Structures are given as C-alpha cells and as structure tokens.
Amino acid sequence: MKHLTPQIVKEKCVLMRVDFNVDIDQSGQIIDDFRIQRTLPTIKFLKEKSAEKIILISHLGQPKKNDFWTEKFTLKPITDYLEKILKEKIYFCSLKGFKEIKAAIDKSEKGAIWLLENIRYHEGENTNDENFAKQLSQLGDIYINEAFSVSHRQAASLCAITEFLPSYPGLLFQEEIEHLNKIIKNSEPPTVMILGGAKMTDKIPVIEKFFNLVNFILIGGAIANTILKSWNFEIGNSLFEEEMIEKAKNLGSDKAELILPGDFLVLTKKQQKNKRELGKIEKEDTILDIGPVAASTFQRIISQARTIFWNGPMGRIEDERFSEGTKIIIEAILSNAKARTLIGGGDTLMSIKLLKPEYRIPACAGRQNTENRFFSTGGGAMLKYLAGENLPALRALENSKL
C-alpha cells in the first residue's frame, strides 16, 4: 500500500473520506468525539504541507430515502464542532450537484477546508456506484481514506472512488493497520476476546475465526442472547437476531473456550430490575446486562490475560441500571497493566467515557504506544481485520492502479 508524503499532497485538492459518524444527543451536543479527534493530525498535516483544498466526506447514521437532504442526518453540527476544535474556518456544503459543489470549492481561498453534506444522501453511495464515484472524484486531484472504521463496508466513497483518483491511506488508517498487525504478531497467551454490543450481523460470523486466535471468548450484550436462543434457552423479550440463529447454533470448538453468562440483569414485566439465572428467565423478561456472577467470572479471566481484545458493551450502557456489567469489564481491562490491549468500537469507547470518566482515552498515538494499549476507531472493521477477513475499502486502496 502507498504512503502519504508531503510531496503527494502539495498544491493538490485532497478528497478525504473520514468517519464523523458520532452520536449526537437531542440538544445537538456530540457525545463522544474520539473519531473526530483522531483525524485532526491528518487535517493539520494537509494544511501544513500546502494542500490546495481539503474536502472532507463523511456519512452520519443510516438515512432512509425519505430522510435524504433533510435536517435529520445533517453533518452541519459536526461542521460547527470541527471548526471549534480545529480553530479553522470550515465550509459546509449542502449542495447536491457536483458541478455546483465544484464551483463553490473553486471560489474558496487556498487551503480552505470543506465538509460535504452526508454522503449517504446520495443514492450511489451505498451501492458503490461507479458513475457516482466518478462524479465525486472530479472534486479532487487525489483521494485519501481516513475512515478505517467503515472500511468493512462497500461504498462509493470508500471503494469505487479509488478507480478514479490516485488513492492513499490516511495517517490514522495506516496507524490502525500497523497496530493491529503488531498485536496479532506479538499476542501472548492467555489471549482473551471480549465481545458484546448489538451489531450481530457483523460480529457472529467472525467469532468462529477467533477460535484459532485466542484462548478465551467471553460474550455478553445482545450477541449472547442470540447464541443462547440458538441453543434453545429462554431469553424472553430480549434483543436477538433471527437471521443469525443458524450461524450461532454451531459455534464452539475444542480450541478456545467460549464463555457465556450464566446470570443476567433483566427488566421484568413490571418494569423492575431483577437478577435472573440462565434457565430461569421468564417470557416477559428483557435481558439488559450480564449478572454479577458472570461479571466476576469475566473479571477473573481478564485479570490473568496477557493479550486482550474488546469490542461491544455487556449491556444497555445508556441506562444506568444496566451498566454495571460493562463497568466491571472496563475496570478489569484497564487495571491489567501487563496485557497488550486492543479496544475498539464507537459505543465501546463511549462506554469508557460514560462509566469511567476519570480515565482519559488518549487521542494521540505516542501515549498509546507506551501504555501498551491501543484504542481503535473501528468496531466491526477491527474485528474483521483481526479475523483475517477482507476489508473492501482496504483492498480497494491496495488495488488502486493510479
């Protein structure tokens, strides 16, 4: 893969795909800005090395067709936020047509930074449409992918675009790949993978790959529900994914030990919080956290690990009553100073911020190296890369012929 150098960006209009898909609360406040913070060094690099224009592309959420070009998924609040933390003028572009966008950008001063409106407002984005990518490519002279966390998706601004412009990984993208390679190469046993969260379609297919990579796989969150359901346990009204049941059913091997919670915190029919053991879950219960026995088993295994991978909260962290399991896991991970640790995923990082606010996730690479800990911007992308699966956007960069 090619490297980004000062010569490459000098005097060039740089089209850079970033991942500013961050959670924004009702009042428009950004809940966790880690992904934005991590792209700042690259934006500053482009500015310092005299890029002609910097055009940022991002998605936000998963807009449906009737949300297109509405306020619902607009990147405008991110523009204001970026302007504040970067202390630079950021031009926001909500125009639809590429000719108009280009004309507006051309008129701006040298070194101007632009953020285009949600790229998913264009139909061609999610279908990886070549025609759309070609139009998009006409805005710039070179393309940079600085969105490692969405590199497992096939989309025009991540994949097809590389057919039309000289394409490079961003500084952060490169750093993410290097760190993942390093931890795969140097991982020492006991190796523990902790998986939770809700995005099962991304996660269940990779679990089987981890049986060869780690010694223990600890599972919480809604993923555990799906697996337990596939093994015919009652999970009541809990969140699970029907399409993943078949895949989940056959999970297991004699290599790594797969450990699922044996107790839970549930919300009962009467909307009360209750402890329940596996096998005693009632039809109207909703599992929203792992129970204290499971949390302490997970804690013990994590404390003895030499390599730790973590993605996905153990429960509904947004609700204080169901965040205890995740909090115990966070404390176990952060207090194991001997282990090499890799933590990734939007909600996973947010859970640290929420439940352990005194711990400051370092946003600069140097400190991360010394601490033996790496915080990846990617959840699904990180897991897929660890599992040795293809990341379409990474492959597109590698195959780019220009």
Stretch that binds Mg ion, among 15-23, 314-322, 341-349, 386-394 (CB under 5 A): 341-349
The nearer residue to ligand ADP, 151 or 311, going by C-beta atoms, is 311
| Length, in residues, of the chain | 402
Pick what 149 binds: ligand ADP, Mg ion, none; C-beta below 5 to 8 Å, kind-dependent.
Answer: none
Interatomic CA distance for residues 153 and 393, integer angstroms:
7
Q: Which stretch binds Mg ion (CB under 5 A): 29-37, 70-78, 312-320, 340-348?
A: 340-348
Q: Could you tell me the CA-to-CA distances from 327 to 107, 175, 207, 236 in Å, in that order? A: 51, 28, 23, 24
Query: What would the two tokens of residue 12 be?
Result: 């060039």
Binding segment for Mg ion (CB under 5 A), chosen from 60-68, 103-111, 342-350, 392-400, is 342-350
Question: Choosing among ligand ADP, Mg ion, none, which partner's interface includes residue 86 (Cβ < 5 to 8 Å by kind)?
Answer: none
The two tokens of residue 96 are: 């639809």
Look at residues 322, 324, 267, 270 and name the one whose alpha carbon lies nearest to residue 298.
Answer: 324
- Options 347, 378, 391, 396; binder of Mg ion; rule CB under 5 A: 347
Nearer to Mg ion, 170 or 312 (CB): 312
CA 175 to CA 153: how far, in whole Å? Answer: 19
Task: Using CB positions, name the residue nearest to Mg ion.
Answer: 347
CA distance 302 to 155: 37
Shorter beta-carbon distance to Mg ion: residue 43 or 350: 350
Under 8 Å CB-to-CB from 215, ≥6 apart: which residues?
A: 189, 190, 191, 192, 256, 257
Which stretch, 174-182, 224-232, 290-298, 338-346, contacts Mg ion (CB under 5 A)? Answer: 338-346
Shortest distance, CB of residue 314 to ligand ADP, whole angstroms?
Answer: 6
Pick the closer one to Mg ion by CB: 101 or 382. Answer: 382
**Residue list 39-68, contact with Mg ion (CB under 5 A):** none
Please give the residue ranges that form the binding site for ligand ADP (CB under 6 A): 196-199, 221-222, 239, 287-288, 311-313, 315-318, 345-348, 379
Please choose which of ligand ADP, Mg ion, none residue 258 contacts, taking the beta carbon within 5 to 8 angstroms, the exact cut-off set by kind: none
Closest separation between CB of residue 353 and ligand ADP, Å? 12
- Interface with Mg ion, residue 346, by CB under 5 A: yes
Evaluated on CA atoms 355, 360, 365, 370, the torsion sign reads negative
| Closest distance to ligand ADP from the beta carbon of 87 (Å) | 29
Which of 37-45, 56-64, 93-101, 344-352 is the region at the interface with Mg ion (rule: CB under 5 A)? 344-352
243 HSE (CA, 13 A, CB side): 6
Minimum distance from CB of 340 to ligand ADP (Å)? 20
* Residue numbers at the binding site for Mg ion (CB under 5 A): 346-347
